[in-house]
Structure 1
Amino acid sequence: MKIQNAFRVALAGTLGVGVGLLILSSISSLSTILTYIGAALFLALGLEPAVGALERRGLPRWAAILVVITGVAALAAALVLAVVPIIVDQVTQLVEEIPNIVEQVNSVDWIERLQEQFPLLAIDEISAQVSAGLTDFFTNPDQLSELLGGVWQVAIAIGGGIFAVVIVVILTLYFTASLDSMKRATYQLVPASKRARFADLTEQITQSVGRYVIGQVTLAAFNGVLSFIFLSIIGAPFPAVLAFVAFMFSLVPLVGTLTGSIIIVLVCLIPGLGSPLTALVAAIYYLVYMQVEAYLLSPRVMNRAVKVPGALVVIAALAGGSLLGILGALIAIPVAASALLIIKQVVIPRQNER
């Protein structure tokens, strides 16, 4: 078959491929900014149910937004004032205990016990090699410069994290204030004959995402508060710090509670801080708590938020985590719920009409 104007077709194809590559490269370069926007929009949708509830009680939208934002800010400030000093104090105690922990770990009794338990291992030689390696590390200028460079990179990462939090907070405030106008502008892009249906689906999706965010934060708060109470009772080291760890990890669906629980149990095993008995009790508690959360708390809290089959929840969370990290794991379940909603209310009815 002879192609008319082959040069023009080839040029158009080359330009099309070039534009596609340029778009993909731009998306890759803007991935950090897009992550900020996605996180802020996710949080704004989480605040929307509270704003809508106040609107239904007669408040104008601007007043409802002001009340919700003020309440969230007051709650965050109270949490910071109540928890952060305790965490700072306990972290300071942990840093002060590090020399004692190292001394206990490197004590002769500990080495002798290991030698008794594992007679075939040359524990003395291993300890001498480790000590020689540490001495060489701290006396070598090149390795010290690498260590300082690593410390500088950590400081830059912390500064970048603070900057990211500030940006996400600002964008969240903006999206919360302008969410209605953003949705109305999006509706205008849809043909008038399908606009009402599109608006209805959009409202269902945004409400589902909002309820999911509130539900996940509620579950994390349950875990954090109960962890603080229980760890304080059993005498675990630094219960406020460990409870904060439990809260933060519980924000990540599926694997978050398990990961946080493992970290807490391992901390309870550190010589000089906890004991095997404390770690065992903590492990039993978290095994019981995870069952209660999975079969009692989570179904009741999440029942109205998202209705996604268990297998799809696991697949969505794993895929989201692989693509976008923690943010992907957070948004994967509401995205899967939205996709199921579209399939049930759009795709299947169209197939039944044929």
Structure 2
Amino acid sequence: MSQTLSSVRSRAALRTSARVCGELLVVLVMAAVTIWILGRMWSVIWPLIIGLLLTTLTWPPTRFLRRHGWAPALAASTVTVLFLLSAVGVAAMITVPVASQSGELTTGVVEGIHQVREWAAGPPLNIGDDQITEGVDTAVSRVQGSVDSIITTVFTGLSTVVNGVVTALLAVFLMFFFLKDGPRFLPWLARQLPGRLAKDVPTLAARGWDTLGSFVRSQALVGLLDAVLIGLGLWLLGVPLVLPLVVLTFVSAFVPIIGALFAGLVAVLIALVSNGPADALIVLVIIVAVQQLEGNVFQPMIQSRGLGLHAGMVLLAVTLGGSLAGIVGSLIAVPLAALLAVAWNYLREQLSDPPQETDPHEPQTAATPSL
């Protein structure tokens, strides 16, 4: 028999759909306003994010010292100083060997340029010295014609460097205060909030803190795997400066996309000027293979286990963050997605019905088998 639609039920469904769409629109507008406000406050939020990530990395030794009777200020100061000394030591491990072999590297670069020039002069390119000189003169004239834009770019780069230094210093100061006063933050926050918020917000903050710690630990493990695999390949090929390149690879793993590109470019360049084009090509293949393993296997698997996210969600978060906000978006996309997942899971817990408890004194009836 054919059934006709009920006009009453149809109007009720339409009203419910309209109400849900209106409420969803209000939520989206509020989210857009929140993102706009955060964008206006980015000069403060970005050091805060970096400070929190550094705090998750340095909190375990601080907690150890505090549990052994150290005063909070003394423990935070000691760990902060040790962190700065470690950063300087890492920089020294990279720059000192490079500086000690700078003469050999310079000679290798010059020889590499001569080799490229001789290769270009032969078949199939057959580029002569006159053509090379003409190309250089053309490039010089173009550079001279764009002096204003170059100066503007240089000043923009200097401004970016200065802002980066200020952000780093502010992040270190924030890290010190987080290490010193962090355990008192949640009780203070609970006293400032009314009603149920005094319980919900500190609980969410504690879970979010654990999530950030998992992110930093998983990222460090991914960087260690990259450094070991790439360093092993460089050592087998006999490329010099293996230790600085390993350290650079590990440190650059904390900066998505640009960090891997920079470390890989440096490794390929050193292999080119020291071992020749063949080994440089092999190094490039090794780096590309390791980076593919990192992006498609290591990072999704490790971070999905540590953050409670599916590997596909990690890939989508990094892709979306990079398309929306570039390198910074790629850096904060995964922890932000994990924090959103924490908030959503907590909201589900609060909105779910409590499990029904069966009365042990109530008689249990056997299920009637279906015929």
TM-score, normalized by the shorter chain, greater than 0.5: yes
Percentage identity across paired residues of the two chains: 16
1:46 to 2:57 alignment: yes
Amino acid at match of 1:317: V
- Relative distance call for 1:273 and 1:234 in structure 2 (3 A) is closer
1:209 to 2:212 alignment: yes
Helix, strand or coil for the counterpart of 1:114?
coil
Look up the match of 1:37: 48
Question: Which stretches in structure 2 are left out of the alignment for 5+ residues?
Answer: 1-31, 356-371
Q: Which residues in structure 2 correspond to 1:140-289 (within 5 Å)?
A: 140=144, 142-143=145-146, 147=150, 150-224=153-227, 227-236=230-239, 238-240=241-243, 242-252=245-255, 255=257, 259=261, 263=265, 266-267=268-269, 270=272, 274-280=276-282, 283-284=285-286, 287=289
Residue of structure 1 aligned with 2:120, choices 110, 126, 149: 110
**Higher RCO (CA-CA < 8 Å; seq separation 6+):** 1
- Relative distance call for 1:170 and 1:133 in structure 2 (3 A) is same
Q: Distance in 2 between matches of 1:50 and 1:211?
A: 16
Q: Distance in 1 between matches of 2:258 and 2:35?
A: 32
Q: Distance in 2 between matches of 1:241 and 1:328?
A: 28
- Relative distance call for 1:137 and 1:272 in structure 2 (3 A) is farther
Look up the match of 2:21: none
Look up the match of 1:79: 90
- Relative distance call for 1:123 and 1:237 in structure 2 (3 A) is farther
CA contact (8 A) 1:187 1:199 kept: yes
What is the Cα-based RMSD across aligned positions, in Å?
4.2
Q: Distance in 2 between matches of 1:322 and 1:335?
A: 15
Look up the match of 2:337: 336
* Structure with larger Rg: 2
Amino acid at match of 1:267: L
Aligned residue-pair number:
325
Q: Which residues in structure 2 correspond to 1:1-150 (within 5 Å)?
A: 28-56=39-67, 59=70, 61-90=72-101, 93-95=104-106, 97-107=108-118, 109-115=119-125, 127=132, 129-137=134-142, 140=144, 142-143=145-146, 147=150, 150=153
Q: Distance in 1 between matches of 2:329 and 2:36?
A: 20
CA contact (8 A) 1:237 1:274 kept: no
CA contact (8 A) 1:37 1:168 kept: yes
Deviation at 1:207, TM superposition (A): 1.6
- Relative distance call for 1:349 and 1:174 in structure 2 (3 A) is closer
Question: Which stretches in structure 1 are left out of the alignment for 5+ residues?
Answer: 1-20, 117-121
CA contact (8 A) 1:261 1:286 kept: no
- Relative distance call for 1:70 and 1:305 in structure 2 (3 A) is farther
After superposition, what is the alpha-carbon deviation per residue over 1:242-280, rounded to whole angstroms, capped at 9, x for unaligned? 434422431145x57864675367536746763224422
Amino acid at match of 1:321: G
TM-score (norm 1): 0.71
